[in-house]
Structure 1
Amino acid sequence: MYVKVEELKEGNVLLEDVISKAPEPLMVKDTILTSWHIKILEAFLIDKVAIGGASMGMVVENAGLPAEEKKRAAVPVQTKTNFFEVYLRSVDEYKKEFHKWQAGSGVDIIQIREIILPLLDEVTADPGLFSKLYQCAEKENYYCHHSVVTGLLSGAVAAQLNYEKGFVIQTALAGALADCGMARINPRILLKETSLTAGEKKEVDKHPVLSYKMVKDINLLNPETKIAVFQHHERMDGSGYVNGAKAENLPPISRIVAAADVFHAMTSDKLYRKRQTLFKVMEMFEQDFFGKFDLPTVKALTALFTKLASGTAVRLSDGQLANVLFMKQQHPTRPLLKLQANESIIDLEKRRDLHIEEVL
């Protein structure tokens, strides 16, 4: 029985795998749906799914089971852990921490580690997951999504640059906590649906200092990690804030978090503006922002999104569909493609009027 996603209830059981654009099923057959599963289906714009269970597709009941069986049946069962479910759960957990900070509580670094580190292991093993995370974004919860993804991007870039595990973890934590000071900004400003006034921007620009004050006494964070939280809006050429620090005063973690923070911000929907595409922003880092960000960091960040196998389907900025023929090491955002419509070859390095809009 096929049921629209908006009509699903917790306890419904999938009769078949749910397929999205990813090579593996989004959810597998026999998964007992929870609110998390339903939220993921909505995020991936799934229209209908096949469900079964008691009463021709209704919610699975525990009636008639022994007490111990009822207890076990109350626990959702799934045959395979889904990365996107864990991600959405982590964003919700981060949101709870953010609300605690707004109420005046300090940072629970153990909880932040538990939110970030399981996801970090997944994305460092499979960076291709980053391209799919944008399907889970919610602009109403932008700051929580932003903090989690900035942490993951920061850690993944550090791993891409071959830093040791401890450094990777500290970099991820710096990214995840860089904006914790936003909790001390007037909520009215954070929820505003139009561009900020000069006065409101000045208020928001205080958040690196506020973030640093919230992490400075945490023993499990290294000094360089705390500095990165403070410096994540500094730029290599001295054009950033709070102190206008230049390259010689920006340690590696600061350089990584700064790039990850801007990259995710530009490629995310906010209440007052739409996101820009991943490949367009990568090219802006290489061209428009040249000199502002650390070059090895930018190359490592770009590599997370451009390891596309031959045959990978993409949508171009003019709407055409194509497949990757060859990725260019020197120009990773401008591969050689074959158009699906007429099988003609197109070299994006020569066609500057086009760019990759989406990896399918």
Structure 2
Amino acid sequence: MRLVRLENVTSGMILAKDIYSCEGKILLAKGVTLTSHFIKRLQSLSIGEIYIEDEISRDIEIVDIIDDKTRMMAKQTLYQAVQDLKANKSLDFSSIQMVINRIVDELLRNKDIMVNLSDLRCVDEYTFAHSVNVAVLSIVIGKALGFHELRLRDLGIGAILHDIGKTQVPNEILNKPGKLELHEIEIMKNHPAFGYEILKEYCEISSLSRVAALMHHERVDGSGYPFGKRGSEIPEFARIIAIADTYDAMTSNRVYRKKITPNKAVEYLMSMGDYHFDHDMVKVFLNHITVFPVGTIVKLNTQEKAIVIDNNRYCPTRPIVRIIKDSKGEYVTKFQEIDLQKKLNIFIEEVCDE
């Protein structure tokens, strides 16, 4: 299978991964042959990408690092939490804790984690899907740093609730498709403090988790908010969540911009190490991120095009690829697979939008 932008999907393509609604119901099941009606329906839901099965991506399996059912449960739990807060009800913390425990357990069972997030989301559910991804990515970093299980669970709680303060920000600001005005930016920048005020009402939530939500927009060079803290003045959890939050936000479609590719997000994090982010934590994170996720179409320096079929754990910029087009842009009649770690004269020039 491979990920394709919806604008490039045509009738007759085969859906390779179930598509769910925000409520957890299957909208389209994998194996369905897509029609113009189905494609228009997906467009109306602002779903930007889908997974398809075709000849060039045969035998390619894209596996998320957490179970699909766990991800869906997490999104639904967070959705309900947001609805409860908006209705002036209390958080069902036991449900949130159960979801984080499940995510931690799954990641602890995975001995050699490489992140290849395969979540499909509509723009409207960005907040819920994003917070779940931030929790997963943060726990991955924490595990790599050697955190014990209970510490991972506290980190996960702080991460999945890091943006809970946005429930106090008007929707017209949250979902504004254009650039925010100065006064709107100031309102948005209050969301960490709003979140802290919400979370401090729950004695079950550790102070580490609450402060992480408060300070996840602090930056190690002092340029962040709300306090302008620097370096080690910023709690460890907040420094971790800042990296996970930024990476997932950059690689997600938003109402006001399209996502960037993982390799570009990686370049940004590398360039911001020691400025915005903790350099050592960025290095740990990048050791567990696939720079070119499986199923990505790339252009090689040979001018051939290829699809990534696997990653090399200790050389993430040089994956294993399958040649699908020759240097003249013609589809090949026989696929050739190349391990770029062994062919040092061949390298990836760019990610393609096929």
TM-score by length of 2: 0.70
2:10 paired residue number: none
Are the counterparts in 1 of residues 113 and 140 from structure 2 also a CA contact under 8 Å? no
Unaligned residue ranges in structure 2 (runs of 5+): 1-13, 35-65, 327-335
Supply the AA of the counterpart residue of 2:256. Y
Partner of 1:147: 131
- 1:38 partnered with 2:29: no
**CA drift at 1:204:** 0.8
Q: Secondary structure at the match of 1:321?
A: strand
Whether the 8 Å CA contact 2:222–2:228 is kept in 1: the answer is yes
Distance 1:328-1:216 versus aligned 2 partners, 3 A rule: same
1:354 CA displacement: 2.3
Q: Which residue of 2 aligns with 1:335?
A: 318
Structure 2: which amino acid aligns with 1:105? K
Q: Which residue of 2 aligns with 1:9?
A: none
Residue 315 of structure 1 pairs with residue 297 of structure 2: yes
Between the aligned partners of 1:323 and 1:107, the Cα distance in structure 2 is 42
Counterpart check, 1:279 vs 2:263: yes
Does the CA-based 8 Å contact 1:123-1:129 persist in structure 2? Answer: no
User: Number of residue pairs matched?
Assistant: 290
* Aligned counterpart in structure 2 of residue 162 of structure 1, from 122, 143, 146: 146
SS at match of 2:222: coil
Residues 1-360 of structure 1 correspond to what in structure 2 (within 5 A)?
Answer: 20=16, 36=24, 38-39=26-27, 41=29, 46-48=31-33, 83-126=67-110, 130-134=115-119, 136-288=120-272, 290-306=274-290, 314-316=296-298, 320-323=305-308, 327=312, 329=314, 332-335=315-318, 337-338=320-321, 340-341=323-324, 343=336, 354-355=349-350
User: CA 1:317–1:174 in 2, change beyond 3 Å: closer, same or farther?
Assistant: farther
| Contact 1:324 1:335 survives alignment (8 Å) | no
SS at match of 1:282: helix
As a proportion of its length, which structure holds more helix? 1
Shift in alpha-carbon separation, 1:357–1:296, aligned structure 2, 3 A:
farther
Q: C-alpha distance in 1, partners of 2:68/2:192?
A: 29
Letter in 1 for 2:26: I
Residue pair 1:339, 1:346 contacting (<8 A) in 2 also: no
| Structure 1 segments unaligned to the other structure (5+ residues) | 1-17, 28-34, 50-81
More strand by share: 2
Alpha-carbon offset, residue 308 of structure 1: 9.0
In 2 relative to 1, CA 326–176 (structure 1 residues): closer, same or farther, beyond 3 Å? closer
Q: Which amino acid aligns with 2:86?
A: Q
Contact 1:316 1:354 in 2 (8 A): yes
Seen in structure 2, the aligned counterparts of structure 1 residues 20 and 247 have a Cα distance that, compared at 3 Å, is same
- AA aligned opposite 1:316: V
Tell me the amino acid that sits aligned with residue 174 of structure 2. L
**1:292, CA displacement in angstroms?**
1.5
Q: Percent of aligned positions with the same letter in both sequences?
A: 20
